[in-house]
Amino acid sequence: MNSNLIYLDNAATTLMDPEVAKAIQTSAKEYYGNASSLHSVGTMAHEILDQARARLASLIGARPDEIVFTGSGTEANNLALKGVAFANAQRGRHIIVSVIEHDCILKAARWLERQGFSVTYLPVDHNGLVDIQALEKAFSDKTILVSVMHVNNEIGTIEPVKEIGELCRERNIYFHSDACQSFGKIPLNAASLNADLLTINAHKLHGPKGVGALFIKSGVNVEPLLHGGGQEKGIRSSTENIPGILGFVMAAEIACREMDSEVRRVTAMHEYILHTLKGSIDGVYFNGSLSTRVPHNINFCIEGMEGEGIRLQLLLDEAGVCVSTGSACSSNDGGNPSHVLQAIGLDPFQARGGIRLSLGRFTTQKEIDRFLEIISEKVKQLNPIF
Ligand SMILES: Cc1ncc(COP(=O)(O)O)c(C=O)c1O
């Protein structure tokens, strides 16, 4: 691995904290038991799992029995949407989600439409904030679930989830929030957000990939998607990934412990980047709310150069800088323009040209200074394409 690499794509995934990697390695040797086995090796694994569940629960103000470990954020989001839909279909078959959700929510919602549910897709304003009036209009006596993410993965906007949760609670409608991009970055508490379900995962906060969790408030009915050995109170059958779960909990504890100082450090970095980019790149404009946002994310376009977004990403990559573009937050989507940038009012052409920088706990000021030098050079090689 090139040690001069500057990794600014922490919203896609993060470098695993070396302390966490070490703990995973040790626990894979020590706690290899199946937590469902009745012998001593299994019992030890079970005890470790119980402790990990309690530690994770306490970080989000939940009870241990309200945490279901999953294999990813994607799985937790699918379980929330489909599980609530199927368990509560007798009450109604209407679901509300925002248009800027991650694909794992949007595609699960579209799949539910094919199973006979109806879905309302809530618009957002130019800052990416969900339209509360549209939500109030969308509610019907058939609505069983609202899902709005806490922080958007492309533009970093923090959604008014507390208010949305309150509106749902008044109407006895379940509220789910995808908190993959907020957990460990800003405070997350299930009760204060009025959330009935919350999705979190490990690899966005310097933990391992392939581990997530769904908070399910006590009393909320969820139909399992995986049937088998009955693990996780029967809601998610599969032998639990104890080393991965321990790594998740450890990474989450570190992130939550360091949150305040990290927010201060990253906010200063964010302001510095904005100020420097404005001074060095003609026509730069920033996407997402300037105030209601996490400081870890910066999404920008260059006026007249939007068609060169992917080329800029490649030029940066050649120079050892990793960033995302508005069309390739996922390289699996065939280079479609970002649905999030279009939802905040950019046209499809502009929405291809967004560059996303996302900062993490290991991003240093030295890296940022070097990145800013590199980008001001690379931008000179771009040609306007209209
Ligand atoms: C907001 C959001 N939700 C869900 C996911 C999916 O999580 P995972 O990669 O753990 O499946 C991601 C990660 O890309 C995300 O950013």
What are the tens digits of pLDDT across the range 179-200? 999 999 999 999 999 999 999 9
Question: Which of helix, strand or coil describes residue 130?
Answer: strand
| Percent residues over pLDDT 90 in the chain | 92
Whether 114 and 203 map to the same domain: the answer is yes
Q: pLDDT per residue over 16-49, tens digit each?
A: 999 999 999 999 999 999 999 999 999 999 999 9
Segment 112-169, tens digit of pLDDT? 999 999 999 999 999 999 999 999 999 999 999 999 999 999 999 999 999 999 999 9
Instruction: Tell me: do 245 and 294 sit in the same domain.
Output: no
Asked if residue 200 belongs to a domain, the reply is: yes
pLDDT at residue 1 greater than cutoff 90: no
Q: What kind and span of H or E run contains 144?
A: strand 143-147
Q: Which of 7, 27, 1, 14 is nearest to 244 (CA)?
A: 27
Can you give the pLDDT at residue 52? 98
Sign, CA dihedral 253-254-255-261, equals positive
Which among 257, 283, 318 is the end of a domain?
257
Is the pLDDT reported for residue 302 higher than 80? Answer: yes
Cα gap 152→150, rounded to integer Å = 7
Contacts of 307 (CB under 8 A, 6+ apart): 349, 352, 353, 384, 385, 386
Is the Cβ–Cβ distance between 260 and 187 less than 8 Å? no
Q: What local confidence, expressed as pLDDT, does residue 322 receive?
A: 98
Regarding the beta carbon of 201 and ligand 1, being less than 6 Å apart is answered yes
Average pLDDT value over all residues in the chain: 95
For residue 109, the tally of other CB atoms under 10 A from its CB is 22
Tell whether 96 and 213 lie within a shared domain.
yes
Q: Which of 237, 257, 277 is the last residue of a domain?
A: 257
Task: Say if residue 239's pLDDT is above 80.
Answer: yes
What is the predicted pLDDT for the residue at 307? 83
Is residue 324 one of the residues assigned to a domain?
yes
Give every strand in the sheet of 297-302, ordered side by side. 284-287, 297-302, 355-358, 324-325
* Residue nearest ligand 1's atom 5 by CA: 73
Which structural domain, as residue segments, surrounds residue 206? 18-257
What atom in ligand 1 is closest to the CA of residue 152? 1
Residue 206, in any domain of the structure = yes
Instruction: Locate the ligand 1 atom nearest the alpha carbon of residue 210 and give its number.
Output: 10
**352 CB less than 6 Å from ligand 1?**
no
Cβ of 154 below 6 Å from ligand 1:
no
pLDDT category at 331 given cuts 50, 70, 90 is: low
Q: Are residues 76 and 193 in the same domain?
A: yes
- 2 pLDDT band, cuts 50/70/90, is low
Check if 149 has its Cβ closer than 6 Å to any atom of ligand 1. yes
State whether 61 and 166 are in the same domain: yes
Residue 11 CA: nearest ligand 1 atom is: 16
- Of 233, 257, 281, the one marking the end of a domain is 257
pLDDT tens figures, 348-369: 999 999 999 999 999 999 999 9
Residues 252-295: pLDDT tens digits?
999 999 999 999 999 999 999 999 999 999 999 999 999 999 99
Q: What CATH code is carried by the domain that includes residue 374?
A: 3.90.1150.10
Ligand 1 neighbourhood includes 153 CB (under 6 angstroms): yes
28 and 89 fall within a common domain: yes
Any atom of ligand 1 within 6 Å of the Cβ of 181 = yes
Q: Nearest C-alpha to atom 13 of ligand 1 is from which residue?
A: 12
Structure tokens, 321 = 């800088």
- Please answer whether residues 288 and 296 qualify as being in contact, where contact means their C-beta atoms are separated by less than 8 angstroms: no
Q: Is the pLDDT of residue 329 over 60?
A: no
Q: Ligand 1 mean position to 74 CA, how many Å?
A: 6
**Does residue 217 sit in the same domain as residue 181?**
yes
Distance CA 2, CA 215 (A): 38
Same domain, 228 and 277: no
For residues 373 and 347, state if they share a domain.
Answer: yes
Residue with the nearest Cα to atom 9 of ligand 1?
Answer: 73
Active site residue 256: no
First to last CA, the chain: 37
Residues 300 and 162 in one domain: no
Higher-pLDDT residue of 329, 218: 218
Domain assignment present for 263: yes
72 Cβ below 6 A of ligand 1: yes
Pairwise pLDDT comparison (335 vs 267), residue with the higher score? 267
* Mean pLDDT, residues 238-243 taken together: 97
The pLDDT assigned to 3 comes to 72
Number of structural domains (the chain) is 2
- State residue 308's pLDDT score: 86
Atom of ligand 1 nearest to the CA of 104: 4
pLDDT tens sequence across 81-124: 999 999 999 999 999 999 999 999 999 999 999 999 999 999 99
